[in-house]
Amino acid sequence: MRSELPKILVVDDEAQNLEIIKEYLEDEACEIVLRQDSEQAWQELEADPNSYDVIMLDWMMPKLDGLEFLGRIKQHTAMCYTPVIMQTARTDRQDILQGMAAGAFYYLTKPYNQQFLIGIIRAAIDDILRFKELESILQQSDPSQALNSSAEFEIRNLNEADQLASLLANSCPQPDKVISGISELLINAIEHGNLNIGYAEKSDLKSRGKWREEIEHRLQQEEFKHKTASIKYIKNGTSISIIIKDEGKGFNWQNFLEFNPERVFDCNGRGIAMAKMMSFDELQYNESGNEVTAIINH
């Protein structure tokens, strides 16, 4: 039976590395499983593909190296959304791009820094738990309520964002594919746009597990409590457009549409690029960055 704690598989052929990771994470609220033999670890994982929430792989291993292990995970229908953290001493831009192209969006450099290790683990756990929460909301929603034509909405908080993400996803051809991307854009409109939580501040909040708490705190402040994000859903013969506008000043969106090797070691900053790659056919921002249009072909 699955533990209620998030479960993490760590695969590294060096016993010393495994011991360091175990020691650094001993106070974290998660269950850690350590494996030295990568081929054996894959066989165990393949036999029970839903057994782990996060997988951490060493890049250089005998038998089955981290990149090949990652490729098998991403090709497996039950594991393709499982976050994979690549731990490596290889920080060359081309190596990082190769890993990102294979589906590794979380990185940890050697030698280990305990703060960075805990931060990236927490970020990956938060992301997969968020994904599972959205899946649950989608499964509990009523598909008959899907939109058949244009509609407009306003949201203010995370709960409203979740419910609207489910409704909009159910109104698209592949709801399970687009819901996480829609949710990412709605949350960005609230946290970055309306509540003015910047990149560095979010990284700090995420690493300390205080992100949601800070959002709820700001929503009660006079400066922010009346701000809303407006959403338009437009369906035509060939595509669906979801237009999201917040009340913020915008941001330098050009730096976030693609995966940036310089930011892969951060706790956040990959959401927009993942949404663009995995959820939408096209993503367009206005000049200032306080309005985005997601396009889904059908």
Cα–Cα distance for residue pair 285/276, rounded to 1 Å = 12
pLDDT at 265: 74
Inter-residue contact 32 to 22 (CB < 8 Å): yes
Positive or negative, the CA dihedral 151, 162, 258, 49 is: negative
Strand pairing class (229-235; 151-155) = antiparallel
Phi, psi of 78, deg, nearest 5: -85, -10
Element (H, E) at 204: helix 199-207
Kindly tell me the sign of the dihedral angle through the C-alpha atoms of 36, 38, 44, 48. Answer: positive
Count CB-CB contacts under 10 A for residue 114: 12
What does the pLDDT read at residue 3?
54
Distance CA 69, CA 86 (A): 10
In one-letter notation, the amino acid at residue 253 is: W
78-92 in b/e burial notation, b at 16+ Cβ within 10 A?
ebebbbbbbbbebee
Segments of the chain scoring below 50 in pLDDT: 1
What is the Cα Rg of the chain in Å? Answer: 20
Which has the closest alpha carbon to 122: 3, 266, 10, 283?
266
Instruction: Indicate if the alpha-carbon torsion angle 269, 272, 277, 278 is positive or negative.
Output: positive
What pLDDT is attached to residue 213? 94
Cα dihedral across residues 108, 114, 116, 122: positive or negative: positive
Gap between the Cα atoms of 7 and 68, Å rounded: 22
| Residue 272 pLDDT | 92
As a whole number of angstroms, the distance between CA 231 and CA 244 comes to 5
Backbone angles phi, psi at 261, to 5 degrees: -60, -25
Question: In the chain, what are the domains?
Answer: 7-128 (3.40.50.2300), 141-297 (3.30.565.10)
Strand partners, 35: 11
